[in-house]
Amino acid sequence: MFSKHSIRQDFLIQIIISTLTLIFTFSFMLYFLIEKSIYDEKHEELLRYAQNISNHQSLFYEDENFSENFFSLNIEIIYLKNKDINTSEYEQILRKHTYLTLIYPFDLENNAYLKITKDISSTKNLLSRILKYIVLINIVGFLLVILYSITLSNILIRPIKQLSAKLSNMNEHLLKPIDTTSLPKEFEPLGEILNHLIARIQNFVKYQKELFIGTAHELKTPLAVIKLKNQVTLIKQRPSKEYIEALKTTNKSVDEMNIIVSNILNIGRQEGAQLEKPIQVDIISILKQKANDFKLLASNEGKELKMSFLPNAFMATLQVSLLKQIIQNFLQNALKFTEKNKIVILKSSQDDYGLLIQVIDEGCGIDNSVDLFAPFVRQGNKQGAGLGLFLAKSAADALGAKITIKNRDDGIDGTIASLQLSSKLSCTLPKYK
């Protein structure tokens, strides 16, 4: 019925054992309490009889039922040598009858004691029936606990079964987000994490297909150029200068293929970086470090890099290499498309969602109809393999962050590249003033 490592089995065993222990403990405590209460009452009754006789009063009070109590009593005077006995009580069984006996001082000068014996067989039988009923109730209760535990475990495991059924029916072509509104409140975080994972898988499948197609296309073009140039060169004997030009063209095509291969290797390295153990770091400190690295580069190109970081410190737990890769790509693209004597801004700000990091340039802007995060997509007439933003998007997905590229709306040409770090999915974000 259950697998070897079944959560449901462990739950059933634990709830059955704990409930059974509670039922038996409570039942036997109840029985011993009832038994003690009855015996205390009988002891008080015998003691009252003994006190009445010792004080030369009548055996019974006026309001007591004489006929009911008298015939079960046996009263006699005994003489004991031991003068230290005050009051003692014991129980004995004779001929299937149970008797409760009380020894009480009567005339200590003559070592005389009252011995009052009462037949408590009916009381003993009553206690025996009570014990049987308690055991019977415990057995019925135990069966009810088992049924209740099975029902409860089915109710608790139902959301997991629903998630398992939805996930088992998925493939790379039918990946759909899970409707978290139909899940219990306790399972909503799990549903959100699974939806985040599904979104990453969808992006991965989509961009991997485009990557393979784009790689084949990008490598095919320089190979075709090399082949065509060589064929033209070999048609007839040519001067050495033309051979040199052909070799230069071939080397240029080989360099282009090397760039493509290097970027593909970077994709592999990035996937390895996604498996790095997240560490707690100060994001603002990383931004300042990257800004200092690119500030000199911007100055050499006749451009200015400005910085504005808020708050002063911002702690987060994430893979540092992925964050650095995104910021580096933003700054490289901004400097690439920004003309001389213009400004690039690196800034950060905190909001309710998390930390917003932006790189703002004064370049040519983007075409909003183009998916810039797809592999081998190039903007403008600048050189490059077109894999930078593809890598940045993959890194942002791994961090559980949002990445966007949009045109500026302040009347100045240029773009705004944004990275929104989520405090809920990826970071521990205490605020610093």
Residue 389 contacts residue 372 (beta carbons within 8 Å): yes
- Note whether residue 160 is domain-resident: no
The overall average pLDDT reported for the chain is 78
The share of the chain scoring above pLDDT 90, in percent, equals 16
Over range 414-433, report the average pLDDT.
66
Lowest mean per-residue pLDDT among 8-17, 19-28, 206-215: 206-215
- Note whether residue 138 is domain-resident: yes
Assess whether 242 and 118 both reside in one domain. no
- Note whether residue 175 is domain-resident: no
- Reported as a pLDDT band with limits 50, 70 and 90, residue 338 is very high
Assess whether 285 and 269 both reside in one domain. no
Answer with the one of 219, 250, 273 that is the final residue of a domain.
Answer: 273
Assess whether 76 and 117 both reside in one domain. yes
Question: Could you say which DSSP state residue 93 is in?
Answer: E
Answer with the one of 84, 110, 144 that is the final residue of a domain.
Answer: 144
Residue 262, domain CATH: 1.10.287
Q: Identify the CA nearest to 430 among candidates 365, 375, 320, 350.
A: 350
Over range 321-346, report the average pLDDT.
91
- Note whether residue 218 is domain-resident: yes
Residue 390, domain CATH: 3.30.565.10
Assess whether 200 and 313 both reside in one domain. no
Over range 187-207, report the average pLDDT.
74
Indicate whether 63 pLDDT > 80. no
The share of the chain scoring above pLDDT 70, in percent, equals 76
Answer with the one of 126, 144, 162 that is the final residue of a domain.
Answer: 144
Count of other CB atoms within 10 angstroms of residue 17: 11
φ, ψ for residue 82 (rounded to 5)?
Answer: -80, 115
Residue 242 contacts residue 233 (beta carbons within 8 Å): yes
What is the C-alpha separation between 309 and 5, in angstroms, rounded?
51
Over range 131-156, report the average pLDDT.
84
- Note whether residue 134 is domain-resident: yes
Assess whether 263 and 366 both reside in one domain. no
pTM: 0.49
Question: Which pLDDT score, from 0 to 100, does residue 12 have?
Answer: 78
Lowest mean per-residue pLDDT among 14-23, 216-225, 270-279: 270-279
Assess whether 266 and 305 both reside in one domain. no
Assess whether 327 and 394 both reside in one domain. yes
Q: Which domain holds residue 92?
A: 7-144
Contacts 24+ apart (CB under 8 A), 338-344: 338/303, 338/362, 338/363, 338/414, 339/303, 339/363, 340/301, 340/302, 340/303, 341/302, 341/303, 342/303, 342/304, 343/303, 343/304, 343/305, 343/306, 344/298, 344/303, 344/304, 344/305, 344/306
Assess whether 29 and 127 both reside in one domain. yes
What is the C-alpha separation between 311 and 432, in angstroms, rounded?
7
Lowest mean per-residue pLDDT among 44-53, 160-169, 221-230, 321-330: 160-169
Over range 44-66, report the average pLDDT.
67
421 vs 224, residue with greater confidence: 421
Indicate whether 3 pLDDT > 60. no
- Reported as a pLDDT band with limits 50, 70 and 90, residue 102 is confident
Over range 41-57, report the average pLDDT.
80
- Note whether residue 173 is domain-resident: no
Assess whether 74 and 101 both reside in one domain. yes
- Note whether residue 223 is domain-resident: yes
| Structural domain count of the chain | 3
Assess whether 419 and 343 both reside in one domain. yes
- Note whether residue 411 is domain-resident: yes
Assess whether 203 and 244 both reside in one domain. yes
Assess whether 237 and 355 both reside in one domain. no
